[in-house]
């Protein structure tokens, strides 16, 4: 277990990963970025939860396939403990149900381990600032996890229609970008608006969907077929 003091202008990170070589590689690579400071590492969930509770990092990089308590269970446990750290799942698992389960458990991002260091560093920065993110390699699988019913009369679409009706066309556009894990800055660039305007749209979406954060909004949009 390693600990280092974090600077105020850096995103502090704790890595929870059972393979030492992977931990060492991640720590070495991420510490090359000025905005990231890896302040601790753990090889299993129990150790990780204790370390996260002690150090209170901005971001946690969490593997799913941990020995004993897995990463999904650890994420749920941290949320039960009212942990304020943002949680990024970093895994080789690509199944749609695992993506949805992780987001539903409270994870803020889902990344595959073949992600480039540069992209991961940006994901860490954006997630620390409130964004959610889903790797493009699994986003389609996650969306396809919800099968379309053969007979649409078998489902009650009233709530979905109500939720969709509350959102403006622009908010529906923003919601689509939220599902893709884009940050306010990225949404602003896509829609050619200011970051302030993008943030205002996101806040309005959260209020109308009665959710607390961007991840919950994305999960609800997928589960309830709002977009």
Q: How many CA atoms lie within 13 A of 78 on its CB side?
A: 35
Confidence of residue 212 (pLDDT cuts 50, 70, 90): confident
* 156 has a pLDDT exceeding 80: no
Closest listed residue to residue 62, CA positions, set 138, 53, 73, 54: 73
Give the residue with greater pLDDT, 177 vs 52.
52
* 149 has a pLDDT exceeding 90: no
Cα separations (Å) of 81 from 47, 78, 90, 210, 214? Answer: 15, 5, 21, 22, 20
Structure confidence by residue, pLDDT tens digits, 34-85: 999 999 999 999 999 999 999 999 999 999 989 888 998 899 999 889 899 9
In the chain, at which residue ranges do the beta strands (DSSP E only) sit? Answer: 11-16, 36-42, 59-62, 86-91, 109-112, 133-134
Position 150 scores a pLDDT of 52
In this prediction, what percent of the chain has a pLDDT beyond 90?
44
Whether 173 and 198 have beta carbons less than 8 Å apart is answered as no
Q: What is the mean pLDDT of residues 13-23?
A: 96
Which CATH fold would you assign to the domain 152-223? Arc Repressor Mutant, subunit A (1.10.10)
Position 21 scores a pLDDT of 94
Position 148 scores a pLDDT of 52
* 162 has a pLDDT exceeding 90: no
Whether 64 and 71 have beta carbons less than 8 Å apart is answered as yes
Whether 14 and 85 have beta carbons less than 8 Å apart is answered as yes
SS3 (DSSP) at 46: helix
Position 45 scores a pLDDT of 95
Structure confidence by residue, pLDDT tens digits, 94-131: 887 788 888 888 899 999 999 999 999 999 999 998 88
Indicate the domain borders of the chain.
11-143, 152-223
Position 1 scores a pLDDT of 46
pTM for the model: 0.64
CATH code of 11-143, in short, is: 3.40.50.2300
């Amino acid at each position: 277990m390693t600990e280092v003091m974090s600077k105020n202008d850096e995103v502090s990170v704790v890595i929870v990963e059972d393979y030492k070589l992977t931990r060492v590689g991640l720590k070495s690579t991420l510490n090359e970025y000025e905005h990231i400071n890896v302040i601790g590492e753990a090889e299993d969930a129990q150790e990780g939860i204790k370390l996260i509770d002690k150090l209170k990092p901005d971001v946690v990089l969490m593997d799913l396939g941990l020995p004993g308590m897995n990463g999904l269970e650890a994420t749920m446990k941290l949320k039960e403990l009212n942990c304020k750290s943002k949680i990024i799942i970093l895994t080789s698992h690509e199944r749609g149900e695992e993506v949805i389960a992780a987001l539903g458990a409270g994870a803020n991002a889902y990344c595959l381990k073949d992600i480039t260091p540069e992209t991961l560093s940006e994901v860490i920065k954006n997630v620390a600032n409130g964004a959610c993110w889903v790797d493009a390699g699994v986003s389609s699988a996650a969306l396809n996890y919800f099968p379309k019913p053969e007979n649409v009369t078998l489902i009650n679409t009233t709530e979905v229609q109500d939720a969709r009706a509350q959102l403006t066309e622009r908010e529906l556009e923003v919601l689509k970008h939220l599902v893709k894990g884009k940050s306010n800055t990225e949404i602003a660039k896509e829609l050619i608006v200011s970051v302030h305007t993008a943030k205002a749209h996101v806040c309005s979406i959260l209020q109308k969907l009665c959710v607390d954060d961007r991840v919950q909004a994305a999960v609800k949009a997928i589960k309830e077929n709002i977009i």
